Amino acid sequence: MHKKAVVYMSLSALAFALLNVFVKKLGDFNVYQIVFFRSIGTLFFTIPLLIKNKIPFLGNKRFLLITRGLVGFTAMTLFFMAIKHLSMGSAVSIRYISPIFAAFFALFLLKEKIKLLQWLCFAIAFLGVVLLKGFDNNINNIGLLFAVVSAIFTGLVPIIIRKIGSSDHPIVIVNYFMIISAIIGGVMCIANWSTPKGIEWLLLLSLGVYGYFGQLYMTKALQTTEINQVAPLKYIEVIFTIIIGAIWFQETYSLLSLFAILLIVSGLILNVIIKQSKKLG
């Protein structure tokens, strides 16, 4: 495996883990306000890039771009809600079952075939979620519901992006997502707006920075080497999140909870490997 790809994917995972940590740290703020700042922070990068590269803002497949933005906003908002109710490692692990839902959507909407081995991988990952619910005392029903529904909407995202195809630049797709999230999040947080004080401004604005660099380094990693070699590394975000959560928030996990998280991540990594081997075969 290309060393640069490993470094890029590790940096991406760390950036997303830090994003999760600061969302948890800012738990006193309304979730829509967090979504608003997360989106505004990223727009500081995407808008100048569109202007610099003379890429049309409105794109071509506007209905699909708007749909992607609305679905992404819903998934992100629900995930941030889940972080408020669950330990971060559990929330991230459950969100990562989105490929299971993506496969279902692809089966019915794109008529893609799914290997029997992939179904086995999904069963392993889903078993992990069931065990996590049973053995993690930090799991509550409302948090679990937010995380699972977030995963369902996250699973829709790659299907919509596949429909968009190469008709629109990736930055245009991200820009739609962030503008829609900023508008809806901004409007929804007005009633419960809490003015940040001191370092809180920096923490809120940094959310978009971590999100942007997480996406940037993931893209760089995927461009550097074969997807099947580097894609499984994105799941080290779970490890980073668990470690930082344990140090910063004193979050604790039983051995059975950690085993459940291992099952989720293992099932999803195996699915990536099998899916890519199918493409290469």
- CA 201 to chain centroid, in Å, comes to 23
pLDDT at residue 270, as a whole number: 87
Low-confidence ranges of the chain (pLDDT < 50): 280
Contact 3, 11 (CB under 8 A): no
pLDDT at residue 278, as a whole number: 59
Residue 233 is classified by DSSP as: G
Query: How would DSSP label each residue in 170-225?
Result: HHHHHHHHHHHHHHHHHHHHSTT-----THHHHHHHHHHHHHHHHHHHHHHHHHHS
Q: How far is Cα 149 from Cα 154, in angstroms, rounded to an integer?
A: 9
Tokens linked to 124? 């392993």
Q: 274 burial class (0-12, 13-18, 19+ CB within 10 angstroms)? A: middle
Among 43, 38, 80, 36, residue whose Cα is nearest residue 176: 43
Q: What is the pTM of this model?
A: 0.88
Contact 175, 47 (CB under 8 A): yes
Contact 53, 175 (CB under 8 A): no
Locus of tokens 């459940």: 260
pLDDT at residue 269, as a whole number: 85
Instruction: List pLDDT tens digits, range 55-83.
Output: 988 988 999 999 999 999 999 999 999 99
Instruction: List pLDDT tens digits, range 201-214.
Output: 999 999 999 999 88
pLDDT at residue 186, as a whole number: 96
- Look at residue 53 and give its three-state secondary structure: coil
pLDDT at residue 33, as a whole number: 96
Q: How far is Cα 264 from Cα 252, in angstroms, rounded to an integer?
A: 18
Contact 210, 18 (CB under 8 A): yes
Tokens linked to 164? 């968009």
Count how many Cα atoms sit within 13 Å of the Cα of residue 162 in the half-sphere of its side chain. Answer: 13
Q: How far is Cα 13 from Cα 187, in angstroms, rounded to an integer?
A: 30
